[in-house]
Amino acid sequence: MNYDQYMSVIHRTKADTIHPDVVSSDTLEDIINHRLLGNVHMDAAKKGLFYGRTSELLKEPDAGTPAEHLEGAMDLVHAIVGIDTESAELLTMLRDSVFREGQAPSRDEIADEAGDLFWYFTLLLKATGITLQEVMERNYKKLSTRFPDGTFSLDQWESRDKENEKNNMIDTMG
């Protein structure tokens, strides 16, 4: 499988409608704002753990159990926390451009944040011994099992058989 093949299945199996009658614009903006408020603390934790930066948002170092037990999983923790903080930066762009009637993020801004996400995603794969090829193939197989006709269907998504999807991925990947 190559990148173009993978992108073709992703494009065909994405939802093609939005349901503002289920989630209003105001509700989505409130959820995004709530998520971003929580991320301020996650970003402070990331900068403290991995860059040694202090923050008023963090407890004093002696106020809790030291994070030394994280050292064995340092790359895994760094990757997952980094993915979270970088995705919050994309949410900020979304909020500012869509809900605050600002200018849409530029291609360069999106590329920069996608690059940061990709860096953390690559760190996650390295930390777990998973290859990008494996991720694409497993996801392709899952989506092909879920949507056998190659297009998104809410009915197929709601009635998906996760066990069958998992078995098909295992059969394919070995």
Question: How far apart (Å, rounded) are the C-alpha atoms in residues 59 and 174?
Answer: 46
For the record, the structure tokens of 95 come out as 């909020």
Question: How far apart (Å, rounded) are the C-alpha atoms in residues 118 and 13?
Answer: 22
Model confidence pLDDT, tens digit, residues 54-82: 888 877 655 556 567 777 788 999 999 99
Confidence grade of residue 171 (pLDDT, cut at 50, 70, 90)? low
Measured CA distances, 112 to 85, 105, 107, 118 (Å) = 14, 11, 9, 10
Query: What's the whole-number mean pLDDT along residues 24-52?
Result: 92
Question: How far apart (Å, rounded) are the C-alpha atoms in residues 145 and 160?
Answer: 9
Q: Is the overall model pTM greater than 0.85, yes or no?
A: no
Asked whether residue 23 carries a pLDDT value surpassing 90, the answer given is yes
Confidence grade of residue 15 (pLDDT, cut at 50, 70, 90)? confident
